[in-house]
Amino acid sequence: MTWGTSAKGRSSIVINWRSESFPPRSPRCGVITDGFYEWSGPKEARQPHWFHRPDHALVILAGMWKMQEQKEGGFVQSFVVLTTRANGLIAPIHDRVPVVLDESRFDEWMHAKTPEPVLPSMVQPAPNEWLVAERASTLVNSVRNGGPELLARLLD
């Protein structure tokens, strides 16, 4: 597995990994977040959509992590988020989405001795009712922007 740094020691842009090909013996992690964005529309006019739980509770995304030795010395932890095919809610906007873990199976996901045949059942699309979508401000289109205005509700 390689992610986090390129062969030349620079930062890599690998942030997602297809769940259909993840190495089951890799160290697994949960990425805790309040939701995630997907975009629709043409490249020059991308509309972000924020997917989150209806009750605004936290979402746990399936991930893999590793320690990487740095060329200049020392180590850094890096991780990737696993993706899967979109469910019915997200499919009109994007064909791939982060794997949302079932909270009741999180310990099973994290346990290194979970039998490999069980893991594919955990990286399936989330049921439609687990998430809702809201149009988000186009301010999220740039990593230079930050603050609560990024999640300001938009009127249709």
Confidence band of 14 (pLDDT split at 50, 70, 90):
low
Delimit the domains of the chain by residue range: 16-138
Q: What is the pLDDT of residue 22?
A: 87
pTM of the model: 0.84
Kindly report the backbone phi and psi dihedral angles of residue 63, in degrees, each rounded to the nearest multiple of 5, phi listed first: -145, 170
Top-tier CATH class for 16-138 = alpha beta
Strands annotated E in the chain: 16-18, 28-33, 36-40, 47-52, 59-69, 75-85, 96-98, 132-135
End-to-end CA distance of the chain: 43
Owner of token pair 């006019």: 45
For residue 16, name the pLDDT band (cuts at 50, 70, 90). Answer: confident
Rounded Cα distance, 23 and 3, in Å? 13
Q: How confident is the model at residue 13 (pLDDT cuts 50, 70, 90)?
A: low
